[in-house]
Amino acid sequence: MKKAVLSQLKWPKTISGKDLIKMLKKVGFEEVRQKGSHVTMKGPNGNTFTVPLHKELAKGTYNSIKKSVENSIV
């Protein structure tokens, strides 16, 4: 299952937080809550991580979220 979900994810070079959330919802992640400009997402195995709703995510933030997503997929 992990390979199937990862193959559905097309990681663009840059992305906004809002677009990243849309992309993750399509492959089974859910929005747990939002506080201000940050959204907490929950992966299929229960891991949570935060996505800022910035126009364009910083490179380090984006890479950190990518790692969290890959670790959240069972």
CATH of the domain at 11: 3.30.920.30
Question: Mutual orientation of helices 17-26 and 59-72 as an angle, nearest 10°?
Answer: 10
φ/ψ region of 36 (left if φ > 0, alpha if ψ in -120 to 50, else beta) reads: left
Q: Map residue 38 onto helix, strand or coil.
A: strand
**pLDDT range class, residue 9, cuts 50, 70, 90:** confident
For residues 56 and 16, the answer to whether their CB atoms sit within 8 Å is yes
Q: 50: which DSSP letter? A: E
**pLDDT range class, residue 40, cuts 50, 70, 90:** very high
The whole domain housing 27 covers 2-72
Average pLDDT, the chain: 84
**pLDDT range class, residue 69, cuts 50, 70, 90:** confident
Beta bridge partner(s), residue 41 = 31, 49
Q: What is the mean pLDDT of residues 26-48?
A: 90
Q: What's the domain count of the chain?
A: 1
The pLDDT of residue 67 is 86
Q: Map residue 3 onto helix, strand or coil.
A: helix
pTM: 0.78
